[in-house]
């Protein structure tokens, strides 16, 4: 398939690859390894991701820890970000064509990714593929091992599962920061409630210690996902979850 080329000459780059939903501690290990490789080899640091979540491309049911905009904004706090929109044409790219695209468009001198990273049509490419193609396209490959928590690898999937069952402590421990969900105020049965942004994972019903606008408050997550603060607080746009109390 044809992939666009950049008309601008750039320095060689060290690129961290991933979806990075939640920008959790495992993701930070990958990004920090990329920054170390970039500094050590005189390369420009770059994070490569998709501007949309891959699961949504084929109509799969899924939920996110962060909105796409929040995820990309968080990544920009570490390094420049190249966020390409994943469409069916790009998803059908053969692994070597994708690597050639990265080597030509971004002048990739180092590729950094997690142990379970896959890419290309049907996820046919993996870390072994990257190592094989590294010699052909003149880039080094850095495979980052799993970061363990509770005897299992830290992953966005595990974090979502923790949130869905109300284990905020577990989610926050793997995130490396407190869970923060975007929300907006609305009305339900005559009461002011908060509604999470579409597509975000919802905590299990219960009572939680949260923080908003610099204030701590107890909020109840209701069946169906609405959130009811126990005291009025107007203009809430983001709610940070500290822990569960019931």
Q: What is the DSSP string of 31-75?
A: HHHHHHHHHHHT-EEEEEEESS-GGGGGT----BSS-HHHHHHHH
Q: What is the pLDDT of residue 7?
A: 44
pLDDT in tens, 58-83: 767 679 999 999 999 999 999 999 99
Which residues contact residue 55 at a Cβ distance below 8 angstroms, ignoring those fewer than 6 apart?
Answer: 62
Spatial distance between the Cα atoms of 128 and 119, rounded to a whole number of angstroms: 11
Spatial distance between the Cα atoms of 166 and 170, rounded to a whole number of angstroms: 9
Q: Which of 50, 75, 15, 63 shows the shortest CA–CA distance to 159?
A: 63
Q: What parts of the chain have a pLDDT lower than 50?
A: 1-7
Strand partners, 133: none
Q: What is the secondary structure of 209-229 as a DSSP string?
A: EEEETTEEEEEEEPTTS-EEE
Spatial distance between the Cα atoms of 116 and 125, rounded to a whole number of angstroms: 10
Q: What is the pLDDT of residue 5?
A: 46
pTM for this entry: 0.90
């Amino acid at each position: 398939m044809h992939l666009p080329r950049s008309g601008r000459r750039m320095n060689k780059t060290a690129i961290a690859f991933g979806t990075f939903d939640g920008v959790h501690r495992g993701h930070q290990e990958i990004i920090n390894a990329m920054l170390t490789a970039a500094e050590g080899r005189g390369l420009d640091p770059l994070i490569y991701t998709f501007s949309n979540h891959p699961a949504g491309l084929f109509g799969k049911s899924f939920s996110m820890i962060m909105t796409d905009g929040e995820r990309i904004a968080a990544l920009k706090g570490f390094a420049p970000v190249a966020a390409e929109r994943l469409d069916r044409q790009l998803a059908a790219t053969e692994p070597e064509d994708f690597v050639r695209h990265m080597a030509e468009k971004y002048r990739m001198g180092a590729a950094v990714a997690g142990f379970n990273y896959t890419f290309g049509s049907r996820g046919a490419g993996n870390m072994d593929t990257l190592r094989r193609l590294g010699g052909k396209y003149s880039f080094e490959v850095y495979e980052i091992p799993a970061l363990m928590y509770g005897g299992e690898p830290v992953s966005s999937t595990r974090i979502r599962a923790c949130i869905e069952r109300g284990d905020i402590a577990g989610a926050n421990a793997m995130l490396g920061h407190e869970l923060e969900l975007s929300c907006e105020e609305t009305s339900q049965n005559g009461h002011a409630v908060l509604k999470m942004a579409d597509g975000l994972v919802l905590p299990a019903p219960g009572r939680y210690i949260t923080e908003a606008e610099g204030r701590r408050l107890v909020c109840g997550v209701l069946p169906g996902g609405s959130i009811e603060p126990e005291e009025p607080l107007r203009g809430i746009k983001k709610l940070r979850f500290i822990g569960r109390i019931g």
